Amino acid sequence: MPDPVRVRFAPSPTGLLHIGGLRTALTNYLFARQAAEDGRGGTFVLRIEDTDRARYVPEAEADIRDALRWAGLALDEGPGLGGGFAPYYQSERTDLYREHVGRLLESGHSYIAFDTEEELAAMRDRLATKDNPTPRYDAATRGQMTNALTLPPDEVQRRLAAGQEHVVRLKVEPGRAVQFEDLIRGPVAFETAEVDDQVLLKSDGHPTYHLANVIDDHAMAITHVIRGEEWLPSVPKHLLLYEALGWTPPRMAHLPLILSPTGGKLSKRNADTMGIPVSVRDYRAAGYEPEALVNFLALLGWNPGTEQELFSLAELVDAYSIERTGHAGAQFDLGKLQWFNAQHLRALPAAEIAERARPAVEARVGPVEAGHLAAVAALMRERLTFAHDLADAAYFFEDPAAYDEQGVKKRWKDDSAALVRAYADRLDADAAFTEASTEAAMRDLAEAEGAGFGRIIHPVRLAVTGTTAGAGMFETLVLVGREATLRRLRRAADTLG
RNA sequence: GCCGCGUUCGUCUAGGGGUCUAGGACGCUGGCCUUUCACGCCGGUAACACGGGUUCGAAUCCCGUACGCGGUACCA
């Protein structure tokens, strides 16, 4: 019986959670949930990889949690959530890393190095050529550096006793092939000659990503490592570490990257110039529904093999299979995300759309009554891309402040004022004021005046809503209400002449 | 430069030797519906990077080239 499935999302708290990070989290979440449904365990762990104190941003963790919660990705284990593998902050696991570094030092799999940053830079400068612009610290060069492999043992001891700053490096022996089976890409192979003597323990005493990651994944019984493709090149380092520590590595899956709409890296700067949000917080602020973002992200680089495109999170859990993930980077298409947004939005109950639209609507027209707002949402749902688009239909709550210029030019004729006034008079006598009665009133008027229906309905819409577009005219009138309709009709007749 | 990973409509993708005159979705577009705008429905546009090979047969397998992306840090 295989070990119960445990996966982790291990962000570094260096800034706001990225769209790419959310995708990684989502994939891990789906993998865990599906395993859980199949009775194979399925624990989704959050681990905070705060080993880079220089880039540490205190607010980042809260942002990450907010983003996950908003997206509906519930955690099973992590800081503050319990689980038997605490602490979940790497900054609190330093002793564990030091202990294992001690083992690696003893077994000869790693060594101490004293080179300063300047010395490393000097080495690279000295060794760099046109054909080899970035020389590595590895078997070929370490003999020229200042480390426990080149210094006499007593000198090493003397320096350590004197408190000289140092790092611990992984001793990588060339001449071996390291390979593994990626869940998404299949067999991937590397030569150890291409792997550098990676720093494992930094001079500030903190581990690097590679060390902490391997130790924690093992210590936390992680069975599947699912992360972005940018990590693929560091897999051999990790595999060598697992081997040196005598551990069985977890299964690994490297997700294709999310690219900018033009194919490049979806960096913050890059995205900004294209008007694309990059942090989850920005998507939220822009009015994207979490269901839509999740659906869109899931389908970026993955498909169910059927023609279904609209998925809820629960449906994704059932349909997901990591083997069906594509291998190539996927360009981000904001237009398609917006389509997903419209689809998910209109699938919501009217009352829910109303509540999601409420902040934007109230910012525009002040407090609105829930029932009325829901009725407006029900009428307008098919015309919305974002919930906040409902605020554009402010005429349901207040008289139009202006009339669409183009619309007036096109629809407001010489006889419009008279017809609108006449229609107002008829509605004045219409006590019922229903969709049927208001429509009948207009048809009667059209017939009595010998005017085309369009001669009346368009000016009426302009008068009542200030625009030329919108839902059914009579449904709109009923929602606007009798008093407001009459007032607007007469006012438009006066002001537009 | 080197290493790794990729490459089907503009974009997301289906497809894994014959069923591919390459399917779906977004976008764009023609029409229908509707005396508004949308929605919906019907239609159109548009792709197997290139060159060799294997095979009776290749979008699918192999090799090479080109191009793209990632990595090449005491960042993750």
Question: Is residue A449 within 8 Å of residue A459, measured between CB atoms?
Answer: no
Q: Which residues make Cβ contacts (< 8 Å) with residue A283, sequence separation at least 6? A: A19, A277, A293
pLDDT of residue A263: 81
pLDDT of residue A2: 82
Output the average pLDDT for chain A. Answer: 95
Give the residues of chain A that fall short of pLDDT 50: none
> CA distances (Å), A349 to each of A74, A334, A357, in order?
23, 25, 12
pLDDT tens by residue, A118-160: 999 999 999 999 889 999 999 999 999 999 999 999 999 999 9
pLDDT tens by residue, A371-397: 999 999 999 999 999 999 999 999 999
pLDDT of residue A183: 96
Residue A249 DSSP code = P
pLDDT of residue A30: 98
Contact flag, residue A82 CB and nucleic strand B, below 7 A: no
Contact flag, residue A327 CB and nucleic strand B, below 7 A: yes
Contact flag, residue A112 CB and nucleic strand B, below 7 A: no
Catalytic positions of A, written as ranges:
268
pLDDT of residue A331: 94
Quickly count helices (H) and strands (E) in chain A: 20, 11
| Nucleotide showing the shortest C1' distance to residue A115 CA | B74
CB within 7 A of strand B (chain A, 153-172): 165, 167
| Nucleotide showing the shortest C1' distance to residue A201 CA | B74
User: What is the DSSP secondary-structure string of A424-466?
Assistant: HHHHHT-SS--HHHHHHHHHHHHHHHT--HHHHHHHHHHHHHS
pLDDT tens by residue, A41-74: 999 999 999 999 999 999 999 999 999 999 999 9
pLDDT of residue A268: 75
pLDDT of residue A399: 96
pLDDT of residue A451: 85
pLDDT of residue A204: 95
> CA distances (Å), A107 to each of A100, A218, A366, in order?
11, 19, 71
pLDDT of residue A264: 78
> CA distances (Å), A212 to each of A58, A90, A168, A200, A398, in order?
20, 7, 13, 8, 59
Q: What is the ipTM of this complex?
A: 0.95
pTM given for the model: 0.94
Q: Which two tokens stand for residue A219?
A: 């210590």
Q: List A137's β-bridge partners, or say none.
A: none
pLDDT of residue A44: 98
Question: What whole-number distance in Å separates Cα of residue A25 and Cα of residue A157?
Answer: 45
Question: What whole-number distance in Å separates Cα of residue A494 and Cα of residue A497?
Answer: 5
Question: What whole-number distance in Å separates Cα of residue A392 and Cα of residue A190?
Answer: 57
Q: Which residue is nearest to nucleotide B39 (CA to C1')?
A: A382
Question: Is residue A77 within 8 Å of residue A32, measured between CB atoms?
Answer: no
Dihedral pair phi/psi, residue A183, rounded to 5°: -60, -30
A166 CA to B74 C1' in angstroms comes to: 9
A257 CA to B66 C1' in angstroms comes to: 22
Contact flag, residue A290 CB and nucleic strand B, below 7 A: no
Contact flag, residue A345 CB and nucleic strand B, below 7 A: no
